[in-house]
Amino acid sequence: MRPRIGLTLDVDEALGRYELKRDYADAVVAAGGVALLLPHEPGAVTELLTDCDGFVITGGDFDVPPELYGEARRPGCGPAKPERTGFELALVQAALEAGKPVLGICGGMQLLAVARGGALHQDLVADVGLSSHQQPAPKDAPSHLVEVLPGTRLAELVGAGPLAVNSTHHQGVREAGAGLVVSARAMDGLIEAIELPGPAFALGVQWHPEVVRRHEPRHAALFAGLMAAARAST
Instruction: Provide the residue ranges of all domains of the chain, joining segments of one domain with +.
Output: 4-233
Active-site pick, 106, 133, 192, 219: 106
Q: φ, ψ for residue 110 (rounded to 5)?
A: -60, -40
Q: Could you list the mean pLDDT of each consecutive 10-residue stretch along the chain, which spans 234 residues?
A: 96 94 98 98 96 97 95 93 97 97 98 98 89 86 95 98 95 96 96 95 98 97 98 85
Q: Using alpha carbons only, what angle is made at residue 230 by residues 87 and 25, rounded to the nearest 5 degrees?
A: 60
Rounded Cα distance between 217 and 203, Å, is 18
Evaluate whether 176 touches 194 at the Cβ level (below 8 Å): yes
Query: What's the confidence (pLDDT) of residue 21?
Result: 96
3-state percent helix, strand, coil for the chain, nearest multiple of 5 = 35, 25, 40
| 77 part of the active site | no
Query: What's the confidence (pLDDT) of residue 39?
Result: 96
Query: What's the confidence (pLDDT) of residue 62?
Result: 94
The CATH architecture of the domain made up of 4-233 is: 3-Layer(aba) Sandwich (3.40)
| 106 part of the active site | yes
Active-site pick, 88, 192, 195, 210: 210
Evaluate whether 6 touches 36 at the Cβ level (below 8 Å): yes
Rounded Cα distance between 99 and 55, Å, is 11
| 88 part of the active site | no
Active-site pick, 133, 169, 208, 219: 208
Query: What's the confidence (pLDDT) of residue 31?
Result: 98
The residue among 82, 29, 34, 90 whose CA lies nearest residue 57 is: 90
